[in-house]
Amino acid sequence: MQPAIAFRSLPTTVLMRQLSIAGDRYTLSISPLPEHSTPEASAWRFELRSVDPDGMIPTGFKLRLLTEDLQPFEHNEDESSEPTAALAVEVLVAPEEGLVWEIEPTPDGYDREILHF
């Protein structure tokens, strides 16, 4: 009889954007959070980090999510009130629902995009 082996499934990044903001490089990653999902909605984490492993996000940066018709909703943004390692917003999204991400200050070459889940 073979011993039972359990594998823990880690969330994988579904989408990653390399961004340049005020001369520095950052990564926006969007990852599923299956442990927080429900039959009616899936959970996702949007996270902004510096590409530099020791880099920090400066004071005053914002990561914001909006509905596809550009409306804010409760707990839709994270703002750095002091230098921080990451900004993150976690949301529950209904099937076929769309979200738009924004960052302040605006990344170089930013084009608004609607992400459907």
In angstroms, how far is the first alpha carbon of the chain from the final one?
A: 42
Average pLDDT of the residues of the chain: 90
> Is the pLDDT assigned to residue 2 strictly greater than 50?
no
The sheet carrying 24-32 orders its strands as 15-21, 24-32, 42-50, 86-93
> Is the pLDDT assigned to residue 8 strictly greater than 60?
no
For 36, list phi and psi in degrees, rounded to 5.
-110, 0
Domain covering 15-116: architecture: Sandwich (2.60)
- Per-residue pLDDT of 34-84, as tens digits, reads 999 999 999 999 999 999 999 999 999 999 999 999 999 999 999 999 999
Give pLDDT, residue 6.
39
**In the chain, where the domains are located:** 15-116
Give pLDDT, residue 117.
84
Give pLDDT, residue 3.
40
Give pLDDT, residue 16.
95
Closest CA to 98 of 68, 72, 64, 65: 68
Give pLDDT, residue 90.
97
Q: Which residue type does 66 have? A: L
Give pLDDT, residue 4.
43
> Is the pLDDT assigned to residue 5 strictly greater than 70?
no
99: buried, middle or exposed (CB in 10 Å: 19+, 13-18, 0-12)? buried
